[in-house]
Amino acid sequence: MKTPVPAFVLILLASAATTAVVLPIATAQTAPDAGPAAAPLAAQPTAVPASPLVTGLPDFTRLVEQVGPAVVKIDTTMGGRRAAARGAQTPDEAFPGDEQIPEIFRRFFGPGFQMPGPGGQGPAPRGRAMGTGFLISDDGYVLTNHHVIDNADEVTVTMSDLREFTAKVVGSDERSDVALLKIDGEGLPVLRTANGSAVKPGQWAVAIGSPFGLEQSVTAGIVSAVGRSNPYANQQYVPFIQTDVAINQGNSGGPLLNTAGEVIGINSQIFSNSGGYMGVSFAIPIDVAMNVVGQLKETGRVQRGQLGVVFSRSAITTEQARGFGLPDTLGALVTEVVPDSAADKAGIEPGDVIRSADGIAIRQPSDLPPIVGNKVPGTKMKIGVLREGRERTFDVTLSELDEGAVADAGAARPGAPSGAPSAGANALGLVTQDLTDAQRRQLGLDANEGVGIARVEGMAAREAGLSPGDVVLRVGRKPVGSAAALARELRDVEPGQTVMLLVRSPGGGSRFVAITPDADE
């Protein structure tokens, strides 16, 4: 099924069949018998032109003239592989995989991409997608987005002077959404890259790209924020630059520039309810992209450092901070440590709050993955944590990212504990039971680790989200391995006192739960 070519209609405010009527602001007063009406009053032009009301606005014409030739249009042709990967989707969908991402977060191709027919049956038709890229070397290396060229059979690069080149995909990284292409050429125009750490909210930013196939289109705005995370896609290693620069279909992969004409980012995504620009755009920082480029050039793949911790993705709450005796809610709260990982060998434990990495402050959990993930395995780092009210620093040597190990550590294991309760309700109103060796093996726990929850009688515990089948691993930082041990740890809990429980649920990973019992519990 071919995507219909959109029709663009210019609507005039007044059609040829209507006559514009100009009404005077004021007319002269005349008596009924005063003869011909007086001419309407008209404003008289001033002798001296008025001064402009707005001055000092930037003029981007020189910037565009100098850097525009290094911005290219990218056309990709896709066959059965890509269409089959999309499955049965409707022709108006904007990009592959968008059925898994909320409507408001979009990564855009250009017009013309064709989807397979209903049900995905039969041979998938060939389709085309369009994006933008830019030259980073005079011998033909081109930077763009991974999602622009993903699974493409053919990639064509068109220069601003309309020269066309067939491009080779040197390498592509889905995690960062960065791809490196190569065309044959020499003495080609090149864009300079900026110092990514110097990008600040409020500075001017310019985008050049091919929205809807309209190549060399220029838009401008300001940097709205830096270090934004993407909660809707697996791109936790990219601290996005947010701007209000107009970005639409076909802008993907194009440069985001500062007023010096240096690249500060690669335009990648927008936040939208409509599928079009709504004032919130996102770009991949250029320093993140160039780190990927260096590895793609050298090895064709990207290696990332791994610390080996699982932490809560949501910010520390006020109640959690009170339960752990923290001075504030900043940092990343560690819920699990991968066995034999860099963090485990260094001595980091569940309940630690990571506050800094190599001297960079960790204000929220999403700050940590980009710092660690953009370093190569073997890098030595200093990790600052808060533990029991004291600041501590651990020296770690990053291992290579193993997604499976972290996923296994953070995932729930099947098999909720069952059997008769072995302890009465405690101060939190939890009726608990000991776990058997078989249950611990099924849950991925060590010997003498964890206590099963059989029933939840306390109101505060229910409101905190605890339910039968959950397993309590720790009270605060103290591991518990039996119902009796849990009862001892909760023996002195008083009403109004916040208690932190590390809990593993059958339907999710481990998490710290803050519970503050009332006086009547």
Catalytic (active site) residue 314: no
Q: What is the reported pLDDT for 103?
A: 39
Whether residue 366 is predicted with pLDDT greater than 80 in this model: the reply is yes
Q: 217: annotated binding-site residue?
A: no
Distance in angstroms (rounded) separating the CA atoms of residues 485 and 477 = 14
Q: 250: annotated binding-site residue?
A: yes
Q: What is the reported pLDDT for 151?
A: 86
pLDDT band at 519 (very low <50, low <70, confident <90, very high): low
Top mean pLDDT of 111-125, 423-437, 438-452 is at: 438-452
DSSP per-residue codes, 6-23:
PP-----SS-TTS-----
Q: What is the reported pLDDT for 424?
A: 52
**Annotated catalytic residue, options 75, 146, 147, 173:** 147
Whether residue 480 is predicted with pLDDT greater than 60 in this model: the reply is yes
Q: 177: annotated binding-site residue?
A: yes
pLDDT band at 157 (very low <50, low <70, confident <90, very high): very high
Whether residue 167 is predicted with pLDDT greater than 60 in this model: the reply is yes
Q: What is the reported pLDDT for 30?
A: 41
Distance in angstroms (rounded) separating the CA atoms of residues 203 and 226 = 11
Residue with tokens 């110092």: 195
Catalytic (active site) residue 244: no
Strands 478-479 vs 471-475: parallel, antiparallel or unpaired = antiparallel
Residue with the larger pLDDT of the pair 81 and 310: 310
Catalytic (active site) residue 197: no
**Annotated catalytic residue, options 173, 177, 352, 470:** 177
Q: What is the reported pLDDT for 75?
A: 94
**Annotated catalytic residue, options 172, 217, 252, 366:** 252
Q: What's the whole-number mean pLDDT along residues 262-278?
A: 87
pLDDT band at 361 (very low <50, low <70, confident <90, very high): very high
Task: Go through the domains of the chain in sequence order and give each one's CATH number.
Answer: 59-302 (2.40.10.120), 305-410 (2.30.42.10), 430-515 (2.30.42.10)
User: Whole-prediction pTM value?
Assistant: 0.74
Q: 251: annotated binding-site residue?
A: yes
Q: What is the reported pLDDT for 6?
A: 41
Whether residue 412 is predicted with pLDDT greater than 90 in this model: the reply is no
Q: What's the whole-number mean pLDDT along residues 308-330?
A: 91
SS3 for 148-184 is: HHCCCCEEEEECCCCCEEECEEEEEECCCCEEEEECC
Distance in angstroms (rounded) separating the CA atoms of residues 518 and 521 = 6
Top mean pLDDT of 44-53, 118-127, 163-172 is at: 163-172
Q: What is the reported pLDDT for 26?
A: 35
Of all helices (H) and strands (E), which one includes residue 387? strand 380-387
Whether residue 205 is predicted with pLDDT greater than 80 in this model: the reply is yes
Whether residue 423 is predicted with pLDDT greater than 70 in this model: the reply is no
